Homo-oligomer: A and B are copies of this chain.
Amino acid sequence: MQIGGVRFRSRLAAELDPDLRREAGLSPLNRAIIGIILFSLLLVVLETEPSVYEPHRLVFDGLELLVLAIFAIEYAARIWVCVENPRIASRWAYARRPMALLDLLVIVTMATSLMGFEGALFRLLRLLRLLRVAKLGHFAEAFRTIASAVGARRYELAVSMAIAGALLLISASALYVLEGGAQPDAFGSIPRAMWWSVATLTTVGYGDVVPVTALGRVFATLTAITGVGLIAMPAGILASAFSDAMQRKRDREDKDGS
């Protein structure tokens, strides 16, 4: 009996803990858990929409209860099997890890929410389960490639951001002086004019506020053209960063080969 239990624990640990899995990639059980997490995110999103939630309140609450039960069982199982991993000293050491604490927090927020404690901030806490996906994501290597390529150019990107900030301040100041008189609501102060500047420099262009004077439009034109350059610059920096990352990888492989 004891031996059977330990054997089952060992096999379950190999399913739950990526470190103990022999095959590459994610185990079927972890795939299913990611699917349930994504499904529970969809539940949180849909529950905020009254026209969807109100008529199907029972269905949603039932599904939340089901997901809560699965998460609770998963949490208990992870606590039970964690000692199979030689790198984990004790169950208590595992339970204090940030990821295990996050799992517990998600379970607690779901439980209190189902018991009727509700508030705007509380609802957002339920979105924390999004972070649980990060733990298990099998995009890990590609994410590291992207992060290292971005990180290698962090100064260039920070300078781009600083230039963008300066341009934002300059264009908002210019429009404040030029359009402030004609449209005090939209351009009556630099913070107000900044809303327009952000929309223009990022080329989003909502169009809820636009300059109407001739000189204001001339400066708006300069801002819009600068905005195109501001988009081209990070694109260029990142393109070069990714290209260099691949080149370095190839050079390393060539050196190993020769």
Q: Which residues of A contact B (CB under 8 A)?
A: 41, 44-46, 48-50, 52, 120-121, 124, 127, 130, 137, 139, 141-143, 145-146, 155-156, 158-160, 162, 164, 166, 169-170, 173, 176-177, 180, 188-192, 194-195, 198-200, 202-208, 210, 214, 217, 220-221, 224-225, 227-246
Contact = CB atoms under 8 A, between A and B. Distances in A.
A206 B166 CA distance: 23
Shortest Cβ-Cβ A-B pairs, 9 listed: A236-B238, A240-B242, A204-B205, A206-B207, A239-B239, A142-B155, A49-B189, A236-B239, A232-B235
B173 A159 contact: no
A139 B45 CA distance: 41
Nearest to A211: B195
B241 A244 contact: no
A170 B124 CA distance: 10
A202 B240 CA distance: 22
A229 B236 contact: no
A191 B42 CA distance: 10
A236 B233 contact: no
A156 B238 CA distance: 13
A182 to B, nearest CB: 13
A46 B191 contact: yes
Given A206-B210, A235-B236, A244-B243, A191 B45 contact: yes
Nearest to A246: B244
30 contacts: A46-B191, A48-B191, A49-B189, A49-B192, A50-B188, A50-B189, A120-B180, A130-B169, A139-B155, A142-B155, A142-B156, A146-B156, A191-B214, A199-B205, A200-B204, A202-B225, A202-B228, A203-B203, A205-B206, A206-B210, A207-B207, A229-B234, A232-B238, A233-B238, A235-B239, A237-B239, A239-B239, A239-B243, A240-B246, A243-B244
